[in-house]
Structure 1
Amino acid sequence: MIYFDNAATTKVIKEALETANYYFTEKYFNPSALYHGGLEVKNDLNGARRTLLNGLGAEGKIYFTSGGTEADNLAFFGTKKRKNSTIIISAGEHAAVYQSALSLKNQGFEVKFAPVDGSGKVIEDQFEKLLDDKVSLVSIMHVSNESGAVNDINKLAETTKRICPGALFHSDGVQAGGKIPVRLGRFIDLYSLSAHKIGAPKGTGALYVAKGIYLTPVVVGGGQEEGVRSSTENTPGIMAYAKAFSLANAALRENLKKVTEIRDYLFDKISEFDDIKMISDKTCSPYILCFASGSLRGEVLQHALERKDIIVGTGSACSSNKATRRVPEALGLNGKYIDGVVRLSFSAFSTMEEARSFIETFTEIYKELKKYVG
């Protein structure tokens, strides 16, 4: 099988699986327990926090969650915001951010959308025009889960703080952490992460919170995570995530070089099709390559490739069941291209051999299917 849907999820790496198993079967104590085993596990969790902070190049706190979606929700609903103030998000945000913003809109907040260009990157001068003293929260994703577009979040955060000193700046870094270099500057207040995008188990995420930023609990109970997120910590998942995150960052440049070669090869080959529009460009994260067919539906191509044992996506897996056009429309897709989106996404395990095999099969399928469309 060729698996090119790694932006949806990745296979668990051996080291992460072994780490999780150790905390499932050997060091399984409750980190809130006061006996030695519990205290040791609590200390291990704090070590995992330090691992994530080091990988982000930041000082602050890490709160563990059940995933990137919960981390985004905590950033929106756990922060203090002036009543009836303005929230700004990009037009291409993941559903976790988009739906959180809409929920706050129903509570009286105004929501504004920062326009993105055809690759999904925020248009900086238009973003700046949205900023005023009414803004209390800005959320701009680091890497687009649809196209791989990379936003300069440190620059956008600095612009936000210059014009709106009291506003908070959040970024969804689910597709960035462990994949591209991340160094959170002093203007980033909140940053969301997810474990299963880099070879750790599903069900674990984290929210980075800068010094001086305080959260109101969204999940209440036993007071875990300093009272911010009650519920016994998922120690096996967290420790597996820390292991995967550490390994990913250690091999980050090597993996980037390898994946970039794969992406560039596929980009050049797919660009040769006369009725395919490339959405991603070569400034995007190399881990994601998105394009749209002007003659074939993305789902048709997806299932045709699946029959050849090649797995690809058609956009965000978290929204695919809703057949949403929100993000494609934000990217400027319309007419014959709107339903033709295909997303390829890679991991450190992807190979050039797989890329060549994909092109061979894709070309064959594409030519065959086009015989049946007008």
Structure 2
Amino acid sequence: MIYMDNSATSPIKEEVFNAMIPYLKEEFGNPSTFYTLGRNAKKAVEEARENIAKLINADTKEIIFTSGGTESDNMAIKGVALKFEDKGKHIITTEIEHPAVLRTCEFLESRGFELSYLPVNENGIISTEDLKNAIREDTILISVMHANNEIGTIQPIEEVGKIAKENNILFHCDAVQSVGKIPVDVKEANIDLLSISSHKIYGPKGVGVLFIKKGLKLELLIHGGGQENGLRSGTENVPGIVGFGKAAELAYEHLDENIAKLKQLRDSLIEKILERIPESYLNGDRENRLPNNANFRFSSIEGEGLILRLDAEGINGATGSACSSKSLKASYVLSALGLEDEEIHGSLRLSLGTENNMKDVDVVVDAIAKVVGELREMSPLWDNKNNVSLELDESKFTDSNN
């Protein structure tokens, strides 16, 4: 099997798994207790917090553990909205945010909040001028993702953070796809709230982080025993947190080399696909994208058929976001780029991991070329398109006087 769907989830690294084992077995204490088992668990949680804080240049007290990116997004957006609704009920986000952000914003709209959804250009990047123009006196929050989960394009979050700070507006950034893959500095980007997920960086599922800038108070969504500085009650998932911390430590140590390796694989994959397969196109910005992301579209085929055929070849890819892959609707992200439904349905997202190599790239390119060719042979759309082309070519040799 060749796995190229790391944007959906990544495999746990061996070092991460080994770090978790003691806290699944003998070190099973509750961090809120005061005897040795509890103190050991508490120490492990705090060490993980330090590793994650270091990865994004934050203070350890600003790291709040959650169940994952979705909870972090909800906690940030709802927490700000409910805490500051007396100051304003206007929120700005983008058309291509993750469903965890968009569905949360829709919920708030149903409760009387007003949302502005920024459009993106053909490469999936917002205009900072659009952002400036969308700001109102009652704007309390700007939520812009760092890198898109489908097309991998990177937003200008440093500029967004600067604009937010200048206008005294809180800035939330969904960085689930970017943290651990490219540099993220919450101080440099003036970020007030940042969402992260463990399983996107070779850690376990079911654990995430919300960075909350020191001094910022949110409305609580979960009430209970007051864990996580009183911001997120509930007994901590110690094995998951330990695994997340180890994954963050590895990501920090190997960030530069991983970026270099993945960029080389990604660029080779893109070049070979576009060169070898007729009417294949890259979705998203060619350069300003995650080092591991390549999103293609192929004329006259269905992406679902492509995914199933590639699976039979032992290759795992995706048509879009794993959180919305059960829907047969056209990707709203690709639609926001201005693509038609027919173009969108022939899309394929490949997201490389550190375990991939150049041999994997060559095998995947061969398989995609083969499968796309087979699907096009069965496609009336491709057949009609070729017939039209032949008719046009033959007309060049037809005597216009006959």
Q: 1:241 to 1:290 in 2, by over 3 A?
A: same
The Cα of 1:136 is off from its aligned counterpart by: 0.6
Paired AA for residue 312 in structure 2: R
Partner in structure 1 of residue 295 of structure 2: 290
Q: How many residue pairs get matched?
A: 372
One-letter amino acid of the counterpart of residue 132, structure 1: R
Written as runs of structure 1 = structure 2, the 5 A alignment for 1:248-259 is 248-259=251-262
AA at the equivalent of 1:61: E
Tell me if the contact between 1:87 and 1:110 (Cα under 8 Å) persists in the aligned partners: yes
Q: Which amino acid aligns with 1:95?
A: P
Structure 2, unmatched stretches of 5+, are 381-402
- TM-align CA RMSD: 1.4
Corresponding residue for 1:180? Answer: 182
- Tell me which of 316, 322, 327 is aligned to 2:321: 316
1:240 to 243, 247, 253: 243
Corresponding residue for residue 123 of structure 1 = 127
Task: Please tell me whether residue 66 in structure 1 is matched to residue 72 in structure 2.
Answer: no
Structure 1 SS opposite 2:53: helix
CA shift, 1:55, in A, is 0.8
Cα distance in 1 between the residues matched to 2:110 and 2:161: 26
Is 1:339 the counterpart of 2:340? The answer is: no
- Check conservation: 1:148, 1:289, Cα contact below 8 A: yes
1:325-374 per-residue CA deviation (whole Å, 9 max, x = no partner) reads 32221122114202112100011111111001111111111112111113
Preserved CA contact (<8 Å) 1:275 1:295: no
Aligned 1:358-373 pairs, distance under 5 A: 358-373=364-379
- For residues 348 and 172 of structure 1, the distance between their equivalents in structure 2, rounded to whole angstroms, comes to 22
User: What's the counterpart of residue 143 of structure 2?
Assistant: 139
Query: Percent identity, aligned pairs only?
Result: 37
Equivalent residue for 1:269, pick from 252, 256, 272: 272
1:200 and 2:236 matched: no
Q: Secondary structure at the match of 1:227?
A: coil
1:218 matched residue in structure 2? 221
Residue number in structure 2 paired with 1:168 = 170
Structure 1: unaligned runs, 5 residues or longer: none
* Aligned residue type for 1:43: K
Aligned residue for 2:267, secondary structure, equals helix
Matches of 1:93 and 1:71, distance apart in 2: 14
The match for 2:283 is 279
Larger Rg: 2
Structure 2 partner of 1:307: 312
**How big is the shift at 1:10?**
0.8
Equivalent residue of 1:318, what SS?
helix
The CA deviation string for residues 141-168 of structure 1, in whole angstroms up to 9 with x for no partner, is 0111011111121211111221x31x21
Q: Is the 8 A contact 2:181 2:291 kept in 1?
A: no
| Paired letter, 1:113 | Y
Aligned to 1:99: 103
Task: Tell which deviates more after alignment, 42-51 or 96-105.
Answer: 42-51
Conservation of the 8 A alpha-carbon contact between 1:179 and 1:249? no
Match of 1:351 in 2: 357
* Corresponding residue number in structure 2 for 1:189: 192
Partner of 2:116: 112
Residues in 2 aligned to 1:368 and 1:327: alpha-carbon distance in whole angstroms: 27
1:118 is displaced (CA, Å) by: 2.2
Q: Does structure 2 retain, via aligned residues, the 8 Å contact 1:7–1:197?
A: yes
- Distance in 2 separating the partners of 1:8 and 1:307: 19
Q: Distance in 1 between matches of 2:149 and 2:15?
A: 26
Is the CA contact 1:149–1:283 (under 8 Å) kept in the aligned structure 2?
Answer: yes
Separation of aligned partners in 2, 1:249 and 1:337: 38
Q: Deviations over 1:294-348 (max 9, x none)?
A: 2111111111111101110110001111234322211221142021121000111
**8 A Cα contact 1:23 1:236, kept in partner:** yes
Q: 1: CA distance between counterparts of 2:268 and 2:140?
A: 43
- SS of the residue corresponding to residue 333 of structure 2 reads helix
The answer to which of 32-41 and 11-20 deviates more is 32-41
Moved more, 270-279 or 190-199: 270-279
Measured in 1, the distance between the counterparts of 2:132 and 2:279 equals 35
* C-alpha distance in 2 between matches for 1:363 and 1:322: 26
What does the per-residue CA deviation read over 1:160-211, in whole Å, with 9 as the maximum and x for residues that have no partner?
221x31x210000101111111111262100000000111110000000111
Q: Distance in 2 between the 1:223 and 1:290 partners? A: 43
